[in-house]
Amino acid sequence: MNASPTVVVIPGDGIGPEVIDAALKVVRAVLGDELEIVEEQAGYSLWKKRGVTIEDETIERCREADAMLFGACTTPEDPEAKSPIVTLRKELGLYANVRPARSWPVPRPVDTEFDLVIVRENTEGLYTGCECEIHDGVTVALRKISEEGTRRVAEVACDLAEERSGRVTIVHKANVLKLTCGTFKRVAAETVERRGLEWDDEYVDAAAYKLVREPDSFDVILTSNLFGDILSDLAAGLMGSLGLAPSANLGDDAALFEPVHGSAPDIAGKGIANPVAAILSAAMMLDHLGYGEEARIIERAVEEVLREGVRTPDLGGSATTEEVAEAIAERVATG
């Protein structure tokens, strides 16, 4: 653990800055000024000013930091405009996207209590950026699955499974994608077995079905990039709101933490964005930086505040972003 870890903070667009403000307030409540915060710009506002969505120097600063806290960015429609988050995942080798989903004490569409984590491969799959028109009116995209890319993300799933149930569920579509998903399934299974853990597997369609019906039957889900994208939003739906879904993007030398939600331009500036996903992402970051106890304190505070009904409108409440952040920060400071 560094004396004073450096954290690059990228608030981004839309509700990004609002929820990041809230998260930093909670971090300060538990850690004071122990972190060195460097703020950087990325996204739509930067695109309008400079014609890029993220600058090379920002990527460099991220590379040197101990961690990054990312809000949300709007990617311009322009085909030239790159998604900042996809760029960072690729440039910094953030190959594992860890997305915990659990039932919090809030109204949820499905009653079942659950506590699972999706480990999503974060650099391959359909996110290669390799697309072309191979024939008039016929376009193709490359879906890449490599053995090494699968192995390294499987190791992260195993790290989590070791602290949890010891079981990894591999989600794929190897009945259709016999080679690519076949590779993913085989290498993932080999990795889990080598680590002395258990695995089972599901087709991605069956996994979507089972998540709706028995989310409590899952613990650690390991899957490829786009499947993880879809299933983690599904899981956020089960939680009752994307506003509760945090995530970590992990690589060998870098770690970025971000709420799963996007920049939500429709509610930006209204002060009603749910800050919990960003606050829980910050807690995951603290855990990663060696402040495990502080992370637990934040999670407990979130739980209590939600239970008491201090909730933003996405959860049926009437609290503002600031009120929720304030309530959690207070709880953290006293607890």
Q: Which three-class secondary structure state does DSSP give residue 202?
A: strand
The burial class, CB within 10 Å (0-12 / 13-18 / 19+), for 285 is buried
Among 281, 282, 323, 332, residue whose Cα is nearest residue 303: 332
Among 39, 50, 162, 178, binds a second copy (CB under 8 A): 178
Q: 200 an active-site residue?
A: no
**Parallel/antiparallel/unpaired status of strands 67-72 and 6-12:** parallel
254 or 260, CB closer to ligand IPM?
260
Q: Cα 9 to chain center, whole Å?
A: 15
**291 counts as catalytic:** no
Indicate which residue of 173, 201, 219, 314 is catalytic: 173
Other CB atoms closer than 10 Å to residue 24's CB: what's the count?
A: 22
Pick one of 50, 175, 213, 308: the residue that binds ligand IPM (CB under 6 A).
Answer: 175
- 121 near ligand IPM (CB under 6 A): no
Whether 287 is catalytic is no
| Vertex 277: Cα angle to 32 and 47 (nearest 5) | 90
Q: Is 141 in the site for ligand IPM (CB under 6 A)?
A: no
Q: Is 144 a catalytic residue?
A: no
Residue 86 interacts with ligand IPM (CB under 6 A): yes or no: yes
Q: Which is nearer to a second copy, 187 or 302 (CB)?
A: 187
28 binds a second copy (CB under 8 A): no
Minimal distance, residue 29 CB to a second copy, in Å: 30
Q: Is 173 designated active site? A: yes
Q: How many other C-beta atoms are found inside a 10 Å radius of the C-beta of residue 50?
A: 11
Binding region for ligand IPM (CB under 6 A)? 83, 85-86, 175-176, 205, 229, 260, 262
Q: Looking at the annotation, which residues are catalytic? A: 127, 173, 205, 229, 233
